[in-house]
Structure formats: structure tokens, C-alpha cells
């Protein structure tokens, strides 16, 4: 593959992910750590701590942002409700600790950072993420993601979201590339992979998660399945005709 500065017609690569991957800890693990701290720091019984964090997580996923107040205020309200009357006085401190843990464990691994830096020397990189504008841009900025991507699209700023074809076309337009010159990398079959397929991208790469370790019969079928985002370099090094690293139609794609 030639450097993009060498020729405008050189191969180009649009890497779009729904959330930062190649991180040090899962969201559920981080909340487990917090539940332990609720017991150790505030004397909240273990079963209650587990319930509190589960309730917060459910409500946070359902509504991560609220247009009527700041992100800090909204999340503190969610924690206050989850903690209940007996422990709501701890809401502010618990929220601050949760926010620290959220980004401490979400930080990109050194291997992922190294890969992104290598890719940017040769390819155009795009990030497409679904979610409310304020919450997603907070994530982008706290994780310093802007330095790794040529364009970043947040669905909350647009009339579409993954898997809508239009959001992929918007990314291609901003990068000045054609869909068939791009590949999509993501961990959600129903948004990342399906969207990439329907948008007519050159290929799709799926990274299974603990919640979705393998393909089922009716799932969108990616061109490649890898266990970690850094394995993407193996696909690119093999060129556009590279064989699948794993058989996407079998249980080999279980991410184990």
C-alpha cells in the first residue's frame, strides 16, 4: 500500500468504531470495583452495593444524558436515586469516584495507541459513535481520541445513527473517499457490522465481546473476526484479498 500523500488514488482506510476498544477494563468490571468500594468506604452492605450499582448502570444506559441539566448534575441525580434515601447523601462522592474509574479503566492500552499511530501514517481514520452529543464528546475528549482520527461523528449531532447508511456516507464524504475504499471495525453486529454492510463498504471486521462472544445464524456476517483490535494490522498487512483470520460461520468466532 502506498502513502496517502503519494497519490490521491492510493488505498484509504476508514476505521469506524462505536466506542473506544482495546481498553484496560470492561464497564461491568469497573462497576464491580465500585460496588466493593461502596461497602468498604461507606459501610453499605455487599448485597445493597451490588444492587445500587446495577440500578445505576441500568438507568445510565437507558438515559446517559439529560438536556435540562449538566452531565455532572444528571449523573449525580441517577446515583442519588440508585442509592435510595438511606445512602443518597453519598451520591456526589460516589459519582466522582465512578467518573474517575470510568475513564481510568476505559483508557486505551499502549498497544492500541501504538496501532492507531501506525495506521494514521498510512490511512485516513474515522470514528463513528452512537449516543447523546454531550456524553459522547466528553468520552472523546477525556480519552484524547481526537489526536488519532481524521474525523469523528457523534450520532447525537446528526439526524442518523449506526446502522443508518447515511452516517457512513457522511463519514466517507468528509474523508473524501468512496465506501468501497473503506472498512468498518466494530464490536456491535447490529450497528457496526450491519451498517458497514448496508453502506457498501469494502469489508467489515468484528471484535466479539463478553456479551456477544459468537455469531448466531441470523446475525450480520462480518468479513473478518478478530479477538482484539490490534489484530487488525494482520488483516491490513495481508492486503485487500486477505483470507479470514477466523471462520465467521463457525464457533471459532467465540472470542475466547
pLDDT at 204 over 60: yes
pLDDT value of position 201? 97
Q: Give residue 94's pLDDT band: very low, low, confident or very high (50, 70, 90).
A: very high
Q: How far is the C-alpha of 49 from the C-alpha of 81, rounded, in Å?
A: 13
pLDDT of 22-50, one tens digit each? 554 555 566 788 999 999 999 999 999 99
pLDDT value of position 9? 34
pLDDT at 66 over 60: yes
pLDDT value of position 15? 39
Dig out the grid coordinates for 69 from the structure: 441539566
**Can you give the pTM of this predicted structure?**
0.80
Residues of the chain with CATH 1.20.120: 27-105
Render 48-101 in DSSP notation, one character per residue. Answer: HHHHHHHHHHHHHHH-S--TTS-HHHHHHHHHHHHHHHHHGGGHHHHHHHHHHH
* CA 244, 248, 251, 255 torsion-angle sign: positive
Residues of the chain with CATH 3.40.50.1000: 110-237
CATH 3.40.50.1000 applies to domain 110-237: yes
pLDDT of 120-160, one tens digit each? 999 999 999 999 999 999 999 999 999 999 999 999 999 99
φ, ψ for residue 79, nearest 5 deg:
-70, -40
Of the options 3.90.1200, 3.40.50, 2.30.30, 1.20.120, the CATH number for the domain spanning 27-105: 1.20.120
Amino acid at each position: 500500500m502506498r502513502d496517502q500523500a503519494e497519490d490521491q488514488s492510493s488505498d484509504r482506510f476508514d476505521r469506524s468504531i462505536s466506542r473506544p476498544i482495546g481498553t484496560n477494563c470492561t464497564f461491568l468490571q469497573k462497576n464491580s470495583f465500585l460496588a466493593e468500594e461502596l461497602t468498604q468506604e461507606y459501610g453499605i452492605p455487599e448485597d445493597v452495593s451490588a444492587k445500587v450499582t446495577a440500578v445505576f448502570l441500568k438507568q445510565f444506559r437507558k438515559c446517559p444524558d439529560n438536556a435540562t441539566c449538566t452531565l455532572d448534575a444528571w449523573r449525580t441525580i441517577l446515583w442519588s436515586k440508585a442509592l435510595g434515601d438511606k445512602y443518597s447523601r453519598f451520591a456526589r462522592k460516589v459519582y466522582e469516584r465512578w467518573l474517575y474509574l470510568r475513564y481510568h479503566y476505559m483508557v486505551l492500552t499502549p498497544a492500541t495507541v501504538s496501532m492507531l499511530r501506525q495506521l494514521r501514517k498510512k490511512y485516513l481514520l474515522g470514528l463513528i459513535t452512537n449516543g447523546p452529543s454531550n456524553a459522547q464528546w466528553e468520552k472523546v475528549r477525556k480519552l484524547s481520541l481526537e489526536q488519532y482520527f481524521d474525523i469523528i461523528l457523534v450520532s447525537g449531532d446528526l439526524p442518523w445513527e449506526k446502522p443508518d447508511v447515511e452516517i457512513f456516507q457522511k463519514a466517507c464524504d468528509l474523508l473524501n473517499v468512496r465506501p468501497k475504499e473503506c472498512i468498518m471495525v466494530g464490536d456491535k453486529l447490529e450497528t457496526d457490522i450491519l451498517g458497514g454492510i448496508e453502506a457498501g463498504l469494502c469489508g467489515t471486521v468484528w471484535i466479539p465481546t463478553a456479551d456477544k462472544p459468537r455469531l448466531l445464524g441470523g446475525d450480520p456476517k462480518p468479513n473478518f473476526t478478530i479477538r482484539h483490535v490490534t489484530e487488525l494490522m494482520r488483516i491490513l498487512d495481508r492486503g485487500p484479498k486477505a483470507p479470514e483470520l477466523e471462520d465467521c460461520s463457525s464457533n471459532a468466532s467465540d472470542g475466547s
